[in-house]
Chains A and B, each alone.
Chain A
Amino acid sequence: MNELLRQLTEATGVASDEKEIRLLIRDLIEPHVDEWRVDTMGNLLAVKRGTGERSLRVLVDAHMDEVGLMITDVDSDGTLRFTPVGGISDRTLLGKVVQINARGGKKITGVIGARPIHFLSAGERSKIVSVDDMRIDIGAGKKEEATGKVSVGDLATFVTGYQELGQIAMGKAFDNRAGCAALITLLQREPYPFDLHAAFTVQEEVGLRGARVAAYGIKPDLALVLECTPAYDLPNERDISPNVMLGKGAAIYVMDRSTIQDPRLVRHVMRTAQENEIPFQIRQPGGGGTNTAAIQRATTGIPAATIATPARYTHTPAAMINLKDFENVVRLAEATLRNLSSELFERQTSTA
């Protein structure tokens, strides 16, 4: 079993409440980095000193936050109203177990039930229940009991144990603990020809907010973003982008709704994959967005590219990745970094 992925996915870290995952990652990287600090947003920023061969300042980003729920009110019967933090579809929530990170560090288990099927009309059975009509049940008998344990504003995550079946791993929050696991692995390897700045960033799921300040704080020459990208490789009639498939290798971003990835860097990543015979796939251009969009626009502009592990059913309680894809992301990211040079970014001025 991949112990790193198990630990990282089972930890909690809803956008703006990343303390638990941050402490876990801090403990995992501390022996392998020269410095680390936490900025005012909560980004965990570490430096792994290089051999000094090349004078490049390189940022590798992986957001550590995940989607979740925020408690918005407590009803008179002691059940809790809530709203999604990040993109969670209403279709996803019924019949799920959640864990509330209550203030003071206590964890409260709750469940999201619904009106029993026995009481539903035929029309109701095919209707999507709105999140406004759902409640989290923590077992409280009345309002005072619940308000003593949980506060409005507390954040909750899904509770899903990590499982493996051969090369397949299932669990919550592969988006983006797969990226975190890849970055942690990169930090454990031999020093790079330059100083490697690692940023485990916050609040990606609510607008790429952590990466923006991390990029400003580090001011790198270029950045590599390690992500987890949704795979829609299921039987379907409208086969539309963006798509990648599980088991077909590391996914390389070219363009999404919010970014055109730096073409020089993208070419470099692809060439590296080919030269090292690392399986890769190009993520079909289309919707979505990664921290690349925020990093690219920070300071005077930072060339950035994204490599991702494909996952089915992201932003649900239980997603799925192929561990070989994850390993290929690590291989490709490492080879990409070791091959980096500043010539890559020199403008070719036309001589014609």
Chain B
Amino acid sequence: MSLLSPPIHFRRPIVQAGLILLASATVGIAYNVLNPAGIRFRSQLPAPPNGYRAETISATLEAAGGSVMTTISNGPARILSPSAGGKTSGPAATRTTWESARRQVERGEAVLVDSRAKLTFEAGHVPGAVNLPLDQLAAEIKQFAADHPPVRTKLIIYCSNEGCPTSSRLAALLAQNHGYRDVQYVSGGYLEWLKTTTAPESP
């Protein structure tokens, strides 16, 4: 009996398992293609400079004024530690709308934060937004906190779409663990922002 030709009583489950996998792949790919917030297969990370890891490259907004500065941190990528930071309780994050967020950012009152994955951020984001991908980079959080003092900075966070959990999660994290007192999140996310505008910022 060859491994390539299993006995007949094993063939049926194997074929069925293959069909289930095929159906999952077909529906998954179709959904991803049709979903504006889906994963983009063509976008690639820019080649990292020698000696640096691509995951640790972050773009941070120097001030609410809007000049963008790119910072590159050396060493292995560190993982966000939700327990780090000391404070375990703090003000709760509040929900806001894009209209209000846009107004506050234009006035220089708030900093816009994108909590989506880095690759998604690079594929397109709201102009002036800072990328703080949840679950990936503790270094960026520390750098961000150094650039934007928690006591004085108002934050507005967004993620992919209405149902995405990372904006509220990051908002709660920054409020509770990093001392930010005024943290808001836009529940509609990047998808809602795209619907209200026609010119997303290119990577």
Q: Specify whether A and B are partners.
A: no
Which residue numbers of A lie inside 8 Å of B, CB to CB?
none
